[in-house]
């Protein structure tokens, strides 16, 4: 049970000219553990949705066939469990236990069997709270584990996971991977999408690489695939193990002071912290999920009013405005000096096309239209979004949306750039591009603050690291 057969499969989203995936021929036997790879935008998430029977006929155009145990996935949904990248949109009920029970109720499982199965599923993923805990009170990692429990409770023959550990701290990611490994039965088929290959390899016995233009680029055991195509795949953007990326060390030593935080805090989201940011310096902020990193980023970015302490901008950064704290500045003053990239890219989009999104900042800060067009075209090209200039930001793939949100902050070339998780969900090529972009900015005398769980990114770019204590230590 849980075998997959794709013949010449292709899908084109409504409103798009290009096919998201095309010409995929693939057979997966029951019980196989497959890692699905490919550069950002190659169509991995689209393919998973198709397998889960979640591409409604009215939302695009299909080519070829998909079958799960010989059935159309839209008919055979009870065989499949899915966990998407964004756990928040997958939770249906207000209480954790009810949420896991939701799928069981839908399948008509007898009432007296439901709660034992809920408890078992929660236990298998190591969920630490009682059933009546509210889902809104969970951190990202806990939500992810709950979503996994919801899928496992249905005892699926085929389990589909789309970047299940994005946005988790290393310990949380380990826990989720552990949960997956120990929760799978021997005959459960697994298809996993994950950019960071090294971490995912212990879970899988087969690797399939999608070709962006269409078709399957490589297929086989991890060793075979990486031995035969390793270097080529790495160049195309796949995170092949054993192909490290060179560090970009700062070319100059840190310059003038830009921003100071004195005993800055916002209880209960963030305890007190002291911090300085200098020009020509890349500062990394790390810490476990829920430690308050995003809160800190918003405070430094002048977007939240501090609950305690203060943020001071130096005259170097703020000119005449250095006497008032950034959160009191008028928006155009702020946007020209401090750029912010939010953790969830979709929170950041303001307009309805990729082009307008990039042009908004420069236009608001009063640049002439010719300069605006030039800046935008440069950024689109560098982050490989030119093809999508007219697309709606909300229809982009996970990686594309992340790139766009970083680019919007780069567009006004602010002296200080504050980015929350700028590299999650990125393929290797874009990742390098981002490191280079940030490094170039830093070397040109800008300050760069990045909040990140990505140890490779810290190793490749950061000059200095600040680590926040876990939330339980706040007082």
Where do contacts with ligand ATP occur on this chain (CB under 6 A)? Answer: 13, 15-16, 20, 38, 40-46, 139-140, 169, 269, 287, 289-295, 343, 395-400, 425, 471
Q: Does 407 bind other proteins (CB under 8 A)?
A: no
Q: Which stretch binds Mg ion (CB under 5 A): 41-49, 180-188, 243-251, 368-376?
A: 41-49
Binders of other proteins among residues 273 to 302 (CB under 8 A) are: 298, 301-302
Nearer Cβ to ligand ATP (403/446): 403
Q: Does 199 bind other proteins (CB under 8 A)?
A: no
Structure tokens that stand for 224 in this block: 């075979």
Nearer Cβ to ligand ATP (84/329): 84
Q: Which stretch binds other proteins (CB under 8 A): 31-39, 56-64, 218-226, 426-434?
A: 56-64
Q: 3 contacts which partner out of Mg ion, other proteins, ligand ATP, none, CB within 5 to 8 A by kind?
A: none
Q: What is the DSSP letter of 19?
A: -
The torsion angles phi and psi of 391, rounded to 5 degrees, stand at -75, 160
Q: Does 347 bind other proteins (CB under 8 A)?
A: yes
157 touches 189 (CB < 8 A): yes
Binders of Mg ion among residues 367 to 406 (CB under 5 A) are: 397-398
CB of 202 to other proteins, least distance (A): 26
60 touches 50 (CB < 8 A): no
CB of 166 to Mg ion, least distance (A): 9
Binders of Mg ion among residues 337 to 366 (CB under 5 A) are: 343
Q: 140 contacts which partner out of other proteins, Mg ion, ligand ATP, none, CB within 5 to 8 A by kind?
A: ligand ATP
Vertex 374, ends 370 and 378: CA angle to 5°?
Answer: 170
E strand segments, 172-269: 189-193, 206-210, 216-220, 257-266
Which residue from 6, 20, 66, 101 is in contact with other proteins, where contact means CB under 8 A? 101
How distant is the alpha carbon of residue 211 from its chain centre? 21
Q: 422 contacts which partner out of Mg ion, ligand ATP, other proteins, none, CB within 5 to 8 A by kind?
A: none
Please, which residues have CB within 8 angstroms of residue 268's CB and are 6 or more apart in sequence? 471, 474
Nearer Cβ to Mg ion (22/293): 293
- CA of 321: how far to CAs of 299, 324, 325, 334, in Å? 17, 6, 8, 10
Q: Does 379 bind other proteins (CB under 8 A)?
A: no
Distance between CA atoms of 210 and 8, rounded to whole angstroms?
Answer: 13
CB of 99 to ligand ATP, least distance (A): 18
Q: 301 contacts which partner out of ligand ATP, Mg ion, other proteins, none, CB within 5 to 8 A by kind?
A: other proteins
Among 456, 430, 382, which residue's Cα sits nearest to residue 38? 430
Q: Does 77 bind other proteins (CB under 8 A)?
A: yes
Binders of other proteins among residues 103 to 122 (CB under 8 A) are: 103-111, 114-115, 118
44 touches 427 (CB < 8 A): no
**DSSP β-ladder status, 257-266 and 308-313:** antiparallel
Q: Does 447 bind Mg ion (CB under 5 A)?
A: no
Structure tokens that stand for 287 in this block: 């810490």
**DSSP β-ladder status, 21-28 and 33-37:** unpaired
195 touches 165 (CB < 8 A): no
Q: Which positions lie near Mg ion, rule CB under 5 A?
A: 45, 293-294, 343, 397-398
């Amino acid at each position: 049970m849980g075998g997959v057969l794709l013949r010449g499969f292709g899908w084109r989203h409504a409103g798009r000219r290009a096919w998201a995936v095309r010409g995929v021929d693939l057979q997966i036997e029951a019980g196989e553990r497959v890692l699905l790879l490919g550069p950002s935008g190659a169509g991995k998430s689209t393919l998973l949705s198709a397998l889960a029977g979640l591409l409604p006929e009215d939302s695009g155009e299909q080519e070829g066939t998909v079958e799960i145990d010989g059935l159309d996935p839209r008919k055979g949904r009870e065989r499949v469990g899915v966990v998407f990248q964004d756990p928040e949109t997958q939770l249906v009920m207000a209480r954790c236990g009810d949420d896991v029970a939701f799928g069981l109720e839908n399948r008509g499982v007898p009432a007296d069997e439901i709660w034992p199965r809920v408890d078992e599923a929660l236990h298998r993923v190591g969920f630490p709270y009682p059933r009546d805990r509210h889902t809104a009170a969970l951190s990202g990692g806990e939500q992810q584990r709950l979503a996994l429990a919801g899928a496992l409770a249905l005892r699926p023959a085929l389990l589909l996971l789309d970047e299940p550990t994005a946005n988790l701290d290393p310990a949380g990611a380990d826990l989720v991977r552990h949960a997956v490994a120990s929760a799978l039965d021997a005959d459960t088929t697994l298809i996993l999408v994950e950019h960071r290959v090294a971490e995912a390899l212990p879970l899988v016995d087969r690797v399939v690489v999608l070709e962006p233009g269409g078709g399957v680029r490589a297929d086989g055991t991890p060793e075979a695939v990486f031995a035969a195509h390793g270097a080529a795949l790495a160049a195309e953007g796949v995170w092949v193990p054993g192909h490290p990326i060179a560090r970009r060390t700062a070319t100059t030593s840190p310059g003038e002071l830009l921003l100071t935080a004195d005993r800055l805090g916002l209880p209960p989201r963030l305890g007190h912290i002291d911090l300085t940011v200098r020009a020509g310096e890349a500062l990394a902020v790390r810490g476990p999920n829920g430690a308050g990193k995003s809160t800190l980023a918003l405070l430094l970015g002048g977007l939240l009013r501090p609950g305690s302490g203060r943020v001071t901008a130096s005259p170097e950064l703020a000119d005449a405005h250095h006497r008032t704290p950034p959160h009191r500045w008028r928006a155009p003053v702020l946007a020209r000096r401090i750029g912010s990239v939010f953790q969830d890219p979709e929170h950041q989009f303001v307009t309805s096309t990729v082009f307008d999104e990039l042009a908004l900042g420069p236009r608001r800060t009063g640049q002439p239209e010719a300069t605006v067009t030039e800046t935008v075209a440069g950024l689109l090209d560098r982050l490989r979004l030119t093809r999508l200039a007219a697309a709606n930001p909300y229809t982009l793939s996970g990686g594309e949306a992340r790139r766009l949100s970083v680019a919007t902050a780069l567009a006004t070339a602010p002296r200080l750039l504050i980015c929350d998780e700028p590299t999650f969900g990125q393929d290797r090529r874009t990742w390098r591009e981002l490191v280079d972009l940030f490094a170039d900015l830093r070397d040109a005398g800008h300050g760069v603050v990045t909040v990140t769980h990505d140890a490779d990114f810290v190793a490749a770019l950061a000059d200095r690291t600040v680590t926040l204590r876990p939330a339980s230590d706040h007082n």
